[in-house]
Amino acid sequence: MGTENVLVRMDGICKEFPGVKALDNVDFTLRHGEIHAVCGENGAGKSTLIKVLTGVEHNESGKIYLDGVAISPKTPMEAPALGISTVYQEVNLCPNLSVAENIFIGREPIRNGKIDWKEVNKRSEIALAKLNLKLDVSGRLDEYSVAIQQMVAIARALDISAKVLVLDEPTSSLNKIEVANLFRIMRKLKSEGMGIIFITHFLEQVYEISDQITILRNGQLVGQFETAKLDRLQLIAKMIGKDLAEFEKTIKEDVRDAGAAANEDAFYQARNLGQQGSINPFDIKIGKGEVMGLAGLLGSGRTESARVIFGIDEPDSGETEVDNKKVEIKTPADAIRLGFAFCSENRKTEGIVANLTIRENIILALQGKRGMGAYLSHKEQEEIAEKYVKLLNIITPSIEQLVGNLSGGNQQKVLLARWLATEAELLILDEPTRGIDIGAKAEVQKLVLQLAADGKAVLLISSELDEMVRCCSRMAVYKDKQKIGELKGAEISEINVMKTIAGGQK
C-alpha cells in the first residue's frame, strides 16, 4: 500500500489534559473505501483522537490532512463542512426537539424562505427507514430510549453526505438486529468509497466489519494492523498487555456457583405492577442472592419495568413487598430508603453529574440516603471514592477530577461506583457495562455475580445477550410492553430467549 488513496492522515498528534497525556505522538491513516477500527481500553485516547479530527479538541502538535490538504478544524461546526460526519460517543442531540428536527438541525431544507417541515419529516422517515426503523418523527427525542436516540444520531450522520464517517461506539446500546442493519449500510458506504472510522469495545464487531485496526494504549499508538492478520488474542494482548482467556474462564465458573447459591427468599416481590401506557401489569420476584435478568428487544418494556420498580414512574396498579412486608414505592427516594439502587442506561442525562467531581459523584447516592444532616466528612468521602476508583480501575489523575472530563467508559464506572457505594440490597443495573472495555467488563460481570453470592438481589438488563446468559440465574422475557415468559437455570440460552420472543405469549 502506498500513499495513494489516503483519505485522512493524522501525523504525530499530541494532546494533553491536566495530569493526562491523552494522545502522545499518535499517527493514524484512513483510506478511501476502508472501515478502520480504533481499539483500546477505557481512557486510551480513542475519543480524543476523533475529537481532534473533528475540531472539538485542539491538538498541541501534529498535523491533519484530508485528501492531502492540511486541515485544522477549530470548532465542531467546521468538520461537516469539510466532509466529516460524526456520531459522538455521548449522543449529542437536543432531547427537547423532535426526532426529525434532530436529524436536520442546522441543515433544514428551505422553501419560500421558510423551513419546509413536510420535507424534513419525509426525509427523516426515509433516513430512518434505511436503518429499518419506523418512528413517529414528530415525537420528542427524549421520549425514546437511549438505543433509539443512538439510532437517530446515526441516521443523522448517515444523511450528511460526507467523505469520512466517524462512529464512536455507536453500537453500545444496540442489539444484534440493529447492529446488522448498521453494518449493512456501512458496507454500502464503504463500497461507494467512503472512509469509516469505527470505535467499539465489541471485538466480534471489529472482526465482522473492519479492514484495519489501530490500537491505542495510554494515549500511545501501539500500531496499525490489517484485521485479517491479527487474531483476537493478539488484539487483546496488544490492547491491555495481558491474556484475556484467563478472565473468561473464571467468569464461567463463577456463574455456575452463583446459580447454585440463589435461595428461595424473595427480597422483592410485585404483583400486577404496571403503569398505563408504559408497561402492562406484570408479576416479578427477585430473590436474595440471585441475578434476575430482564430480556427483550428495543422498546419491549424491560427498562420501563425497571423504572416502575424503582419508582421513577409511579406505578398505577399492583402491590409490592420487600422482605415480605407490603411497601409503597412512589419515588426513587422511597426505593433507595428500602435498599434499592438503580444504575440508569442513560448515563449522561440520568446518571452522572458532569460538573461535579468523581468524589462527589460517587458519594452522592449514599449521602442522599443518609440525608442532609449526616454529612460524610471529607476524609470519609475520599476513602469511599478512592476505594471504588481502585476497585473499578477508574483511570483519572485525581478523585477531584470533574466526571465530565473522564472518558466514556470511566464515567460509566463512576456511575456504577455511586450505586455500589450505597451497599444496596437490590441493585437494578440497566446496561451496566455500556461503553466499558473488555477487561473491565469481565471485572464488572464478576462483581455482579459476587454481589449475588453475598446475598444481594440483582436485576440486570443488558442488550448483550451473552452477558445476560453469563450472569443471570433467572430471566424474564418482555415483548411489546408485556412480560411474556420466564426462563431459569439451564433453560437460559440465547436461542431460548429468541424463541420466547418469537413465540410471543408463553
Partner 1 sequence: MESRKKMDKRLIDNQLFWPLFALAVLLVFDFFYLKGFFQIEIVEGHLYGSLIDIVNRATPLMFMSIGMTLVIASGGIDISVGSVLAISGAITAIMIGGDLVFVDGVQHHVAHYPMAVAILVALVAAVVGGLWNGLLIAKLGVNAMVGTLILLVAGRGIAQLIVDGNVITVYYEPFFYIGSGFFLGLPFSIYLVAAFLALIMWLVKKTAFGLFLEALGSNRVSSRFTGLNVQKIMWACYAISGLCAGIAGIIVASEVKSADANNAGLFIELDAILSVVLGGNSMAGGRFSVIGSVIGALVVQTLTTTIYAVGVPPEVTMVVKALVVIVIYLIQSQMGMKTLKTPAASAGEGALKAGEAKS
Ligand X SMILES: Nc1ncnc2c1ncn2[C@@H]1O[C@H](COP(=O)(O)OP(=O)(O)OP(=O)(O)O)[C@@H](O)[C@H]1O
- The binding site for partner 1 (CB under 8 A) comprises 16-19, 51, 56-57, 76, 88, 90, 92, 94, 312, 331-333, 335-337, 342, 344, 348-356, 360, 364-365, 367-376, 397-398, 400-402, 404-405, 418
Output 20 or 476, the one with its CB closest to ligand X.
20
Residues 418 and 474: their CA atoms lie apart, in Å, by 26
- Give the shortest CB-91-to-Mg ion separation in angstroms: 13
Measured distance CA(46)–CA(179) in Å, rounded: 21
The site partner of 20 among partner 1, ligand X, Mg ion, none (C-beta below 5 to 8 Å per kind) is: ligand X
Q: In what order do the strands lie in the sheet with 164-168?
A: 69-71, 61-66, 6-17, 20-31, 220-226, 212-217, 35-39, 195-199, 164-168, 84-87
Which residue of this chain has its Cβ atom nearest to ligand X in the complex? 409
Indicate which of Mg ion, partner 1, ligand X, none lies near residue 227 (CB less than 5 to 8 Å, by partner kind).
Answer: none
Work out the burial of residue 220: count CB atoms within 10 Å of its CB; fewer than 13 is exposed, 13-18 middle, 19 or more buried: middle
Q: Select 395 or 465, whichever has its Cβ closest to Mg ion.
A: 395
* Per-residue interface string for the shown chain with ligand X, residues 422-441, x marking contact by CB under 6 A: -------------x-x----
Shortest distance, position 160 Cβ to partner 1, whole Å: 16
Query: Exposed, middle or buried: residue 122 (CB in 10 Å: 0-12, 13-18, 19+)?
Result: middle
Residue closer to ligand X by CB (options 178, 437) is 437
Our finding on whether 20 is near ligand X (CB under 6 A) is yes
Binding site for Mg ion (CB under 5 A): 47, 89, 407-408
Q: Report how many residues bind ligand X under the rule CB under 6 A.
A: 22
Tell me whether residue 468 is exposed, middle or buried, using C-beta atoms within 10 angstroms of its C-beta: 0 to 12, 13 to 18, 19 or more. Answer: buried
Sole window of 14-22, 67-75, 249-257, 282-290 interacting with ligand X (rule: CB under 6 A): 14-22
Closer residue to Mg ion (CB): 47 or 305? 47
Residue 224 Cβ, how far from ligand X at the closest point, in Å?
16
Residue type, 12: G
CB-neighbour burial class of residue 99 (10 A; exposed 0-12, middle 13-18, buried 19+)? buried
Q: What is the DSSP string of 248-277?
A: HHHHHHHHHHHHHH--S-EEEEEEEEEETT
Note whether 26 binds ligand X by CB under 6 A.
no
DSSP string covering 473-486: SEEEEEETTEEEEE
Residue 44: contacted member of partner 1, Mg ion, ligand X, none (CB under 5 to 8 Å, by partner type): ligand X
User: How far apart are CB 404 and ligand X at their closest, in Å?
Assistant: 7
**CA–CA gap between residue 439 and residue 61 (Å, rounded):** 31
Cα dihedral 368/369/375/379 (nearest 10)? -100
Does position 289 bind ligand X by CB under 6 A?
A: no
Judged by CB under 6 A, the stretch of 170-178, 183-191, 405-413, 465-473 that binds ligand X is 405-413
Looking at 223-231, 236-244, 368-376, 408-416, which segment touches ligand X (CB under 6 A)?
408-416
Identified binder of ligand X from the candidate list 17, 65, 183, 202, rule CB under 6 A: 17
Local structure of 227: helix, strand or coil: helix
365 or 501, CB closer to partner 1? 365
Q: Which of 73, 311, 408, 485 binds ligand X (CB under 6 A)?
A: 408
Which residue's C-alpha cell is 418469537? 502
Taking the complex as a whole, the smallest distance from the CB of residue 16 to ligand X amounts, in Å, to 9
Concatenating the DSSP letter of every residue in 1-57 gives --STTEEEEEEEEEEEETTEEEEEEEEEEEETT-EEEEE--TTSSHHHHHHHHHTSS
CA 231 centroid distance within chain: 25
Contact 365, 341 (CB under 8 A): yes
Q: What three-state secondary structure class fits 145?
A: coil
Is 281 near ligand X (CB under 6 A)? no
Q: How far is the CB of 333 from partner 1 (least distance, A)?
A: 4
Q: Which stretch binds ligand X (CB under 6 A): 39-47, 159-167, 418-426, 459-467?
A: 39-47
List residues binding ligand X (CB under 6 A). 17, 20, 22, 40, 42-48, 89, 395-396, 405-410, 435, 437
